Structure 1
């Protein structure tokens, strides 16, 4: 009887072990097909091309009223900042430096700006003065200057980032031809207080440099993310793969046996491009499946009259087609291109653009459907 019980217990154990071994083991799936790659980042990379005049990390060469001090806490850049203290009972302070070697700023009067950080303990006490930048080692020769009278109202107590365009209407240039921006060697900042100060006042400088003025942001004419308002030969289609920007691009199909296609839109509201004929550029992406089929004609038209033949600037495709390749092409059309055609009614009002048309022909009726596309139409500073 005891043997029978032992045999029964062993049988139960074997059956249980077999049942456990037959259970399906759950493994974490390695299938990553459900994952989507992150959207492509189309943000332009910002490259710092500025030229350092003085980083204010040492007092060497600096003159102030009193003794210059290098402060190593609270700086805006680097190891420290330059401090000058206006003593109690005084009313005048300055920062002066003749650079050890001339500096090529790599900009022009039309494209550059002087930038630096300026610390003011109490703005309410400032009266007047000037910021002077020279290539003659002299504040009164080959100089550009900015009156502090117009800058002081914009300041706050503490650190202020000054960005002084060389082209500012208020900038003062000496009558000897002004500064040689390829060989700048002197800077002076001087100012007065409204009266003798009752307590010592600390002023500071940091990170003095020259930079190219950043271009204004682009002005979107149409991002081509929707077909609203667009007319083509056939039916416009929004394609959401392969676009150059945003959610999609606009596609028009030239059907077999046809030889003409166009994209037309009257904008919902006029757009101020913020540019002039001299400074502006129309940019867009154009997709061409087979450039060899295009005839050397057609035009890209941009108007402020809601009409392709009034208040318009246009670019003949005859000169653009030879530059195209199959696929996407980034067109950059200057408003002042020699080949640009402006209507005799004064041309476009660039503060109120409201119409765009792109039309073209093929050299013969196409033998298969041809898909054309446009994306990201905008105006930029050239």
Structure 2
């Protein structure tokens, strides 16, 4: 069977769909993952075949054609519409190359990550089933409507009256944290994926002080979201803790000099995170899910509006504490860290959700659902 995976435009969302793609490859299927040129190395480093369908980057959707930056709305509803149109614009850039590849390669099924709006269009064009896989715990549905509006010309060109719906939805959100009106889904255990490297003893050997991990996600650069990461480091760094900062090498260099109790740079999160007592982050979807998997309590500051929904759900569950972005003063961040570190129930609830996730079906079982779908559609 030929399976075409359609990736998003940044590494974080690609990491989410890699386990299912690897399971398909290991089962003997032909697997190709399509994405923009700038993420090809991320795909191939996971042992997967990649095809580049556009030279443009996801972040280019934030710019007008003349290079000027588009103003980002401050109203939450308008921000969702803005985000949806950006994702629709990105899909527009991918579709020419994606449709041409599908016409030649002829997949049997198309799997696309959430918010990858080119995937349903190429699946229907190719006349094959479309599988949507969640890459986090869910986004506002207003984003979908705005993306469809942006893709109106493509819908007319392809002869569609509306955005095609998925034939199968693979959800990685644990059932106890799904929204009440979440659609029917094949549940799949979320498996964190990250680039690998050599580990050293300090990564898995604890000292006497609490361990805190700070992250602003895989998309942070010296020019993008750096102030979020550097701000979190400064606010948490004053605590008497052993502090780890997950950051690309160039970002880690820009953070220096750092106090002696702080280590910044590439971190093997599968090794370091389980030793930590707290994770402080921007509430990015894959960051949150990964640390849920490792059973670590979290302090979440949802700088990204789309993260508000699942941040609230995890907070209500008791495995995290949310601090609104407007309240992220050094004093408030430090006090929130102390609360989570000093309250055993946060750790217990984090372990509860981790244990729930460990019992969920793995990628091979989700793949079996995809195989059944393809078989019955023929």
Q: Same fold (TM over 0.5)?
A: no
Of Structure 1 and Structure 2, the greater strand share is in 1
TM-score range, shorter chain: under 0.3
